[in-house]
C-alpha cells in the first residue's frame, strides 16, 4: 500500500525530467498456469492539464491487451500507439529550428522576392506541431507499420526566417506557412540501442498564411518538401 497515493505517484523521469512517463498499473499483475507474468502499465507521457488542453486531438484509450498465448515465453514490451501520441502532444507548440546552406539556397532560389526585398541573406525555418491537429498523428497497424499522418496529414506551423546576424540586426520573420505532412517511421535495435528513422516524408500541402514582404504567386509545397527531405536525411544520418 502506498501512503498518500495520487495520479502522479508512479510517474517516472526515466527519459528525463521533460518527459515524465506514467507507469501506474492499469490492472493487477497476473500469473497464469504457464508461469507467464503480465503487467499492464499506463505508459503515457503526462503533462500539466493546461498544456494538455493546448492540443485538440484526444488519445483513443488503450484498453486492448495483445494476446500472447501463441508466442513462446519471452520478455516482451508492447508499445501502444497512445504512448507515442502522448509524446507528440508534449511537442505541440515546441519550436524546431532547422536550416543549413542547402536549405537557404533552396528557399532563395524558389522565392526570389526574399533577396529582392532583404538583400542576400541566409534563410532558415522555425516549425512546431500545430495545436489545430484534431486526429491522432501516429497510427500503428499490422499492414502498414508505424505511420505519421496516415489518417489525416499532420499540421505544422512553419516560419521562414532571415538570418540578419551579418547585418547586426535581429533575425526577421519573412512568412508563415501552414504545412501538411505524413511520414513512415522505423524503429530498429542494434546492440540493445533503439534507433528512430524516417524512411519517407511527404509534404502534401503548404499554404502561405502571412508575410512581412510582398510575395508573388507561389506553390510552396515543393519548397517545404525540399526542406523536410533535407531534414529527413540529416536526422537519419
- Residue-by-residue pLDDT tens, the chain, 237 positions: 455 555 566 677 766 677 777 777 767 777 888 777 777 777 777 765 555 555 666 666 655 555 555 555 444 556 678 878 888 887 787 889 999 999 999 999 999 999 999 889 999 999 999 988 888 888 888 788 889 998 899 999 999 999 988 778 899 999 999 999 999 988 776 766 667 889 999 999 999 999 999 998 999 999 999 999 999 999 888
Helix (H) or strand (E) holding 44: strand 44-45
In 3D space, the residue among 135, 104, 132, 151 whose CA is nearest the CA of residue 207 turns out to be: 132
pLDDT per position as a tens digit, 75-90: 455 667 887 888 888 7
How many CA atoms are closer than 13 Å to the CA of 112, on its beta-carbon side? 1
How many CA atoms are closer than 13 Å to the CA of 49, on its beta-carbon side? 2
Assign a CATH topology to domain 93-236. Answer: Bactericidal permeability-increasing protein; domain 2 (3.15.20)
Q: Where are the domains of the chain?
A: 11-87, 93-236
pLDDT per position as a tens digit, 113-138: 999 998 899 999 999 999 888 888 88
Question: Cα–Cα distance between 117 and 92 in angstroms, integer?
Answer: 32
3-state secondary structure at position 106: helix
Amino acid at each position: 500500500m502506498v501512503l498518500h497515493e495520487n495520479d502522479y505517484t508512479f510517474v517516472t523521469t526515466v527519459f528525463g525530467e521533460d518527459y515524465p512517463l506514467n507507469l501506474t498499473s492499469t490492472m493487477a499483475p497476473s500469473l497464469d498456469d504457464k508461469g507467464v507474468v503480465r503487467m499492464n502499465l499506463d505508459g503515457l507521457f503526462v503533462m500539466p492539464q493546461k498544456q494538455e488542453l493546448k492540443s485538440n486531438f484526444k488519445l483513443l484509450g488503450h484498453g486492448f491487451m495483445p494476446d500472447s498465448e501463441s508466442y513462446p515465453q519471452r520478455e516482451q514490451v508492447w508499445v501502444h500507439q497512445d504512448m507515442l501520441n502522448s509524446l507528440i502532444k508534449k511537442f505541440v507548440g515546441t519550436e524546431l529550428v532547422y536550416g543549413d546552406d542547402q536549405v537557404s539556397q533552396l528557399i532563395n532560389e524558389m522565392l526570389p522576392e526574399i533577396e529582392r526585398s532583404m538583400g542576400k541573406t541566409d534563410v532558415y525555418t522555425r516549425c512546431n506541431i500545430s495545436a489545430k491537429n484534431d486526429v491522432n498523428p501516429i497510427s500503428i497497424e499490422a499492414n502498414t507499420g508505424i505511420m505519421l499522418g496516415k489518417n489525416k496529414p499532420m499540421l505544422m506551423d512553419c516560419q521562414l526566417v532571415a538570418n540578419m546576424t551579418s547585418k547586426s540586426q535581429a533575425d526577421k520573420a519573412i512568412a508563415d506557412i501552414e504545412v501538411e505532412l505524413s511520414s513512415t517511421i522505423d524503429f530498429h535495435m542494434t546492440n540493445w540501442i533503439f534507433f528512430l528513422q524516417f524512411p519517407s516524408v511527404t509534404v502534401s500541402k503548404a499554404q502561405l498564411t502571412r508575410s512581412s514582404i510582398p510575395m508573388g504567386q507561389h506553390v510552396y509545397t515543393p519548397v517545404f518538401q525540399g526542406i523536410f527531405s533535407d531534414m529527413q536525411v540529416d536526422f537519419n544520418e
